Amino acid sequence: MYSQNPVFIPGPTNMPEVVRKACDMPTIDHRSPAFARLFKPAVAGVKRVLKMGEGEVIILPSTGTGGWEAAISNTLSPGDTVLAARFGMFSHRWIDMCQRHGLKVQIIETPWGQGAPIAAIEAALKADKTGTIKAVLATHNETATGVRSDIAGIRRAMDAAGHDALLLVDGVSSIGSMPFDMAGWGVDIAVAGSQKGFMLPAGLAILGVSPKAIAAMDTATLPRTFFDFRDMLRSYAAGGYPYTPAVGLIAGLARAIEVLEDEGLDNVYARHHRLAEGVRRAVAAWGMTPCAVSPDLYSDTITAVVVPEGCNGTDLVKLAAEKYDVAFGVGLGEVAGKVFRIGHLGMLTDVMVLSGLAAAEMCMADLGWNIRLGSGVAAAQEYYRGSARAMALAAE
């Protein structure tokens, strides 16, 4: 039964039953007080997850990609220059979107497997004596390579350069699963999606917007209608939307945040780190390595596993789906075929991750790769046994 197996892709993630049921609700009037009662807790909860200070939360019927578009179209004008590093498929796609919108993109080309190059960002900003660069785009968690970048470090670089650019951050595959501090890191727009750490179906773009970014709307002239923050904020004041919202998903979002906060956000982040570390122990036992070039870059939501010479990661992903009804992620862009990706975010436990590692090993054996069945599973088991006990003691 395919639907009984957890997925190990970087989103959409497995859904808690209570969250799925919260989305399953009768139709209500989205212009009534009943909708406002659903909506307000979701907005307040997002502020807590993002660690926002001042500013506004915008929840759009869309996905993370729509959130990227909303971020640039509400704050920038045609011909504006933005600074971005390209070090994976998702940083590349945001760059491509900016170029299609008539923005000039100053690109810092960076090898895939590395993170956002902070020193190069600082140097580029220091060289911009006239303030031509209007925004810095940063991908917090590059899903294609399993790389986490230092957003606080980028803010320090911007401050050291004395530059006034906006800091726009793609947190789609990190927010809700790894620590994110919008206020502390000086983020102007944070972009998330419902289908990752919030454990919902795809369908919501979730944005935190700083007062500085809100002020930028007054001079931004890129076209926007459906994504216009001004329309959204005017309607929010009356407890509604300028158009029909995704009511069931918003109800699910409020419930998902309750689930995260019942566990405790720090515990959520610790769980994700523990799951990720177990996967990394398994990868090492297989004689393989993550795509991320150093431990300080390791993502706690996705591991891109570099496959041995002569092997094809896409073959493993296809076989897992066809023979064992298990979903892993294929390699994208420059790492297509060179990696397969194990998602370990959302509603997952140690035991669920072990099942995914076992399935991956069976596929490797079926494909004739040099693998000893049980080696990775055993390495993860040893780690989980010890780390679970340590967490239990810490909670007492």
Which DSSP string do the residues of 221-276 spell out, in sequence order? -S--STT-HHHHHHHHHTTS-SS---HHHHHHHHHHHHHHHHH-HHHHHHHHHHHH
Residue pair 345/301 in contact by the 8 Å Cβ criterion = yes
Q: How far apart are CA 267 and CA 177, in angstroms?
A: 10
Helix (H, G, I), strand (E, B) or coil at 52: coil
Identity of the amino acid at 149: S
Q: How far apart are CA 199 and CA 252, in angstroms?
A: 9
Q: How far apart are CA 101 and CA 78, in angstroms?
A: 7
Identity of the amino acid at 323: K
Residue pair 289/351 in contact by the 8 Å Cβ criterion = no
Q: What ranges do the domains of the chain cover?
A: 17-261, 264-395
Q: How far apart are CA 266 and CA 151, in angstroms?
A: 19
Beta carbons within 8 Å of 135's beta carbon, 6+ residues apart = 72, 75, 76, 80, 82, 83, 165, 166, 167, 168, 188
Sheet holding 81-86, edge to edge: 56-61, 204-209, 189-193, 166-170, 133-139, 81-86, 104-109
Nearest to 151 by CA among 142, 163, 386, 24: 142
Nearest to 6 by CA among 364, 387, 347: 347
Structure tokens at 111: 């090898």
Pairing of strands 189-193, 166-170: parallel
The fold of 264-395 is Aspartate Aminotransferase, domain 1 (3.90.1150)
Identity of the amino acid at 202: A
Q: How far apart are CA 393 and CA 390, in angstroms?
A: 5
Identity of the amino acid at 61: P
Q: How far apart are CA 254 and CA 234, in angstroms?
A: 22
Predicted confidence pLDDT, tens digits, the chain (396 residues): 456 899 999 999 999 999 999 999 999 888 888 898 889 999 999 999 999 989 999 999 999 999 999 999 999 999 999 999 999 999 999 999 999 999 999 999 999 999 999 999 999 999 999 999 999 999 999 999 999 999 999 999 999 999 999 999 999 999 999 999 999 999 999 999 999 999 999 999 999 999 999 999 999 999 999 999 999 999 988 878 999 999 999 999 999 999 999 999 999 999 999 999 999 999 999 999 999 999 999 999 999 999 999 999 999 999 999 999 999 999 999 999 999 999 999 999 999 999 999 999 999 999 999 999 999 999 999 999 998 655 554 554
Q: How far apart are CA 277 and CA 298, in angstroms?
A: 9
Most distant CA pair in the chain, distance: 62
Tokens 């009534």 sit on residue = 32
Q: What is the CATH number of domain 17-261?
A: 3.40.640.10
